[in-house]
Amino acid sequence: MKVNIKTDLITKISSDVITLGVDDKNQIINSSKLNRKTVSYLSNILALGDIPEKLGSAIVIHGDHFYPKVILIRIGNPKNLTSNQFYNVVLTIAEELKSLQFKTLLLPINQFINPSLSANVVAEYLVRGLIDASYVVNSLKTINKVKKNIFQTIIHYDGSDLKQVKNGVRHGEAVMEGGNLTKDLGNLPPNICTPKYLASIATKLGKEYKFKVSILDKKKIEKLRMGSFLSVAKGSREEPRFIIMEHIKGPKNQKPIVLVGKGITFDAGGISIKPSADMDEMKYDMGGAASVMGVMKTVGALNLPLNIIALIPSCENLPDGLAVKPGDIVTSMSGQTIEILNTDAEGRLILCDALTYAERYKPETVIDVATLTGACVIGLGHHATGLFSNYDPLASELEEAGIRALDKAWKMPLWDEYQPQLNSNFADMANIGGRAGGSITAACFLSRFAKKFNWAHLDIAGTAWKSGKEKGSTGRPVALLSQFLIKRSGK
């Protein structure tokens, strides 16, 4: 989708489709700016009373040669429209567009702007919603392929915040470029999206946006003594990779923000094997890695003046004669020993070594992203990402970014009281803490490797993908993290 912003008189802009809001008095919002003939035609149609009063209800009608198709959508009192409601309105518009033939869509945005819904937010949500809803999976189907609708969106704006509108469009586009990469990677089958494949995409990103990428193979990972990470990789014929991306575009002395993404390209559970129902969904267990890569694409596209490092430990978790076994004790890069009581709790085992590796950057902040626990899905469902942090101001910052980006995270406790659940009789810690508070004890495990910096952990097990008929990656939490970084950059 191409986006153009136009500020000319709206009566001068013709378009295949125009979208107009209808208020609670059954009138076109801001109709005084439109051509009188158009307004009288539409008023007659509105008088027929076919648009339900419910906010977001829409109909498509045929107009004249200037606007051959018109989407009329119920906004209610535009002064009360909230950002969430507006985003849903955009998704409805996108849904209506799917059944239309057209090349240009005209969207006058002044009709939506009110004191609590700024021009900037309207522009950003509009672009994000339209791109998000028109995502088509790059599927391997050879028949019945869904064709992507290619069109141009003309945002019409008449006001003094043009710069903010432009910013909103730019940010919206960049967030979706990243989000779509995350979706593409997640949706790929695990026989294609392997650790090596993720590494190749990282290398490509580095070339495209001019940041440094290093790919560490098994030998180099061994040299680093990442015994915990390597123990997970042991059961697989696919070699592990440790991927490092360094976007150093901030002031030289500015300490970096490190993002860590769980890159398990398939999680069968290892010797503690998972039940086979829905096991295919464990291809999404690299969702943390995919979202970190997506964020790096957004950051690259916006060329954010920040120092950002991405670390991705990536491997498969499979059962095998050589696989790690329940009862095995491994030594992590930090030197701490871990008794592996359940090989299916592998995410924390690869992340802990990445967190230790992060220490060398003397980071300002470290954020890891992982499809870590089924318990998080039970606790928070599919709407909120689990948020854990050893530094409250960072947690608040992420919470706020999530709300602004419509990609919410909910803060969970990380209290010391939970730590003893990880006690082991034979090693410094066990890799599981029992059923009670499973997402919390997983975070507690990670916290033991994050003592040297401000750190947050995002458990995206419930938010990274959808199951059932709509099965597919959601691209979360690219919007949350991008918003966090955009805010940090002051842009």
Q: Which residues are catalytic?
A: 274, 348
CB of 278 to ligand BES, least distance (A): 9
**Which residues, 6+ apart, have CB-to-CB distance to 88 below 8 Å?**
56
**Segment contacting Mn ion by CB under 5 A, of 94-102, 193-201, 264-272, 373-381:** 264-272
**Which residues, 6+ apart, have CB-to-CB distance to 468 below 8 Å?**
none
Sign of the dihedral defined by the CA atoms of residues 425, 430, 432, 436, in that order? positive
Draw the binding track, 3-42, toward Zn ion (x: CB under 5 A; -: no contact).
----------------------------------------
- Choose the one of Zn ion, ligand BES, Mn ion, none that binds residue 304, judging by a C-beta under 5 to 8 angstroms depending on kind: none
Residues pairing with 155 in the sheet: 5, 107
Draw the binding track, 243-282, toward Zn ion (x: CB under 5 A; -: no contact).
---------------------x--x---------------
- Choose the one of ligand BES, Zn ion, Mn ion, none that binds residue 34, judging by a C-beta under 5 to 8 angstroms depending on kind: none
Question: If binding is defined by CB under 5 A, does position 285 make contact with Zn ion?
Answer: yes
C-alpha to C-alpha distance for 144 and 302, rounded to whole angstroms: 36
- Choose the one of ligand BES, Zn ion, Mn ion, none that binds residue 342, judging by a C-beta under 5 to 8 angstroms depending on kind: ligand BES
Q: Nearer Cβ to Zn ion, position 124 or 285?
A: 285
Q: Binding Mn ion by CB under 5 A: which of 96, 132, 344, 353?
A: 344
Amino acid at position 438, single letter: G
User: Please, which of residues 344-363 interact with Zn ion by CB under 5 A?
Assistant: 347
CB of 317 to Mn ion, least distance (A): 6
CB of 384 to ligand BES, least distance (A): 14
Question: If binding is defined by CB under 5 A, does position 177 make contact with Zn ion?
Answer: no
Q: Rule CB under 6 A: which residues touch ligand BES?
A: 267, 285, 342, 344-347, 371-375, 377, 432, 438, 461
CB of 152 to Zn ion, least distance (A): 42
Residues of the shown chain interacting with Zn ion in the complex, contacts defined by CB under 5 A: 264, 267, 285, 347
